[in-house]
Amino acid sequence: MKTENILVIGGTGKTGRRVAEDLRNRGIEPRIGSRNASPGFDWDDKDSWIDALNGIEKIYVSYYPDLAVPGAKEAIESLTYLAKELGVKKMVLLSGKGETEAEACEKIVMDSGMDYNIVRASWFNQNWSESFFLEPILSGEVALPLSDVLIPFVDANDIAEVAATVLLDDTYNGEIIEVTGPELITFKDIVNIISETSKRDLNFYDITLEQYVEGMKQMEIPVDVVWLIEYLFSHVLTNPNNQLVVNDIERVLGRKAKTFLEYAQETATSGIWSPIRVK
């Protein structure tokens, strides 16, 4: 493999590990930006940033848990300044559609003087298999608010392929790439699709956002996670800009974005949605 001096920050996360894998499939071995890598990268330890960025020319940045959380803007600002000082030429930032706070982070990168791309994503399909929607699916009892809101769920593999492509192809420099799925679907639609593909009976309950938040608190979910999920439901999910299908995946990759049904069919074969059996 050849080395292109690329750092993937969040390289073990939902999109980052897929970006790294995509680069490897193209014959490029990236440096992984994570706490357990060598050199390590820790958002909470700025001293670790210097070694991780040393000799790097291009970086992919995924901020955990989300660009909307308090402190994210300051972290992106510090990282962007340091990256430019250390000679980084290009930054690709994963952002979220319909997030005002995320757009403030985008502007920092756009005004940095470096080449850049903003990959602005809708909600991930993989939230149902690798994140906070998985547990209710496994239980067979899914209770969610805003069940009729139309969402262009997008596949994390499509996001990663787009990110890897624009990271390497400088003809896209300076563009905001909006990545969505090819269709608008609701939570009810999704639960029905997962029920059919996993061959399970799933019960769906439409509840209020207040009930959903109270349920998370009763489950003793960390306060910052409760805040983030409430924010995403109340401000992002209902944002009209987040309820539009955009064809940038097809424009960049030359193929259509993956549908939720295609994702569900593939995921169901992995067995991840099989119910937990208590011995």
134: pLDDT confidence band, cut at 50, 70 and 90?
Answer: very high
Q: Where are the beta strands (DSSP E) in 147-279?
A: 175-179, 203-206
Does some domain include residue 17? yes
Residue 102 has pLDDT above 90, yes or no: yes
Does some domain include residue 253? yes
Does some domain include residue 71? yes
279: pLDDT confidence band, cut at 50, 70 and 90?
Answer: very low
Give the C-alpha separation, 48 to 40, whole Å.
6
Does some domain include residue 201? no
Radius of gyration of the chain, Cα coordinates, nearest whole angstrom: 19
Closest Cα to residue 94, out of 163, 19, 45? 163
Does some domain include residue 89? yes
1: pLDDT confidence band, cut at 50, 70 and 90?
Answer: low
Count of domains forming the chain: 1
The answer to whether 14 touches 126, Cβ cutoff 8 Å, is yes
Does some domain include residue 250? yes
Neighbours of 173 (CB within 10 A): 13
Mean pLDDT across the chain:
94
Residue 277 has pLDDT above 60, yes or no: no
What are the residues whose beta carbons fall under 8 Å from the beta carbon of 44, sequence distance 6 or more?
Answer: none
Give the C-alpha separation, 162 to 159, whole Å.
5
Domain span holding position 91: 6-122+154-180+244-257
5: pLDDT confidence band, cut at 50, 70 and 90?
Answer: very high
Check which CATH number belongs to the domain holding 39 and give it.
3.40.50.720
Please tell me the predicted confidence (pLDDT) of residue 31: 96
